Amino acid sequence: MKKVISLILMGCGGVGRQLLQHIVSCRPLHAKQGIHLRVVGVSDSKSFVVAPDVSTMELADNSLLQLCRIKSDGSSLHTLAASGQVEVFTDSESTKKIIDVAALLGKSTGLALVDCSASSETIPLLTQAVDLGCCIVMANKKPLTSTMEDYDKLISHPRHIRHESTVGAGLPVISSLHRILSSGDPVCRIIGSLSGTLGYVMSEVEDGKPISEVVRSAKTLGYTEPDPRDDLSGMDVARKALILARLLGWRINLDDIKIECLYPKEMAPGVMSVEEFLGTGLLLLDKDIKERVSKASLSGNVLRYVCVIEASRCEVGIQELAKDSPLGRLRGSDNVLEIYSRCYNDQPLVIQGAGAGNDTTAAGVLADIIDIQDLFP
Residue 141 counted as an annotated binding residue: yes
Q: How many CB atoms neighbour CB 103 within 10 A?
A: 17
Taking CA atoms, 262 is separated from 91, 194, 316, 334, 339, in Å, by 37, 16, 11, 20, 26
pLDDT digits (tens, 9 = 90+) for 257-278: 999 999 999 999 999 999 999 9
pLDDT digits (tens, 9 = 90+) for 35-58: 999 999 999 999 999 999 999 999
Write the single-letter amino acid at 355.
G
Q: Tell me if 177 is assigned to some domain.
A: no
Domain, as residue range, for 158: 3-170+359-375
Within 13 Å, how many C-alpha atoms sit on residue 339's CB side?
24
> Which one is catalytic: 97, 153, 219, 240?
240
Q: What CATH number corresponds to the domain at position 119?
A: 3.40.50.720
Average pLDDT over residues 168-173: 92
β-pairing verdict for 334-341 and 349-354: antiparallel
Asked whether residue 146 falls in the same domain as residue 231, the answer is no
Q: Looking at residue 279, what DSSP letter applies?
A: I
Asked whether residue 17 falls in the same domain as residue 77, the answer is yes
Q: How far apart are CA 86 and CA 103, in angstroms?
A: 20
Residue 196 counted as an annotated binding residue: no
Q: How far apart are CA 27 and CA 97, in angstroms?
A: 27
Asked whether residue 164 falls in the same domain as residue 215, the answer is no
240 annotated active-site: yes
Residue 93 counted as an annotated binding residue: no
Total structural domains within the chain: 2
pLDDT digits (tens, 9 = 90+) for 64-113: 999 999 999 999 898 888 777 899 999 889 999 999 999 999 989 999 99
Asked whether residue 343 falls in the same domain as residue 203, the answer is yes
Asked whether residue 347 falls in the same domain as residue 249, the answer is yes
Share of the chain above pLDDT 70, in %: 100
Q: Tell me if 198 is assigned to some domain.
A: yes
Q: How far apart are CA 23 and CA 10, in angstroms?
A: 15
Asked whether residue 63 falls in the same domain as residue 130, the answer is yes
Residue 225 counted as an annotated binding residue: yes
pLDDT digits (tens, 9 = 90+) for 279-309: 999 999 999 999 999 999 999 999 999 999 9
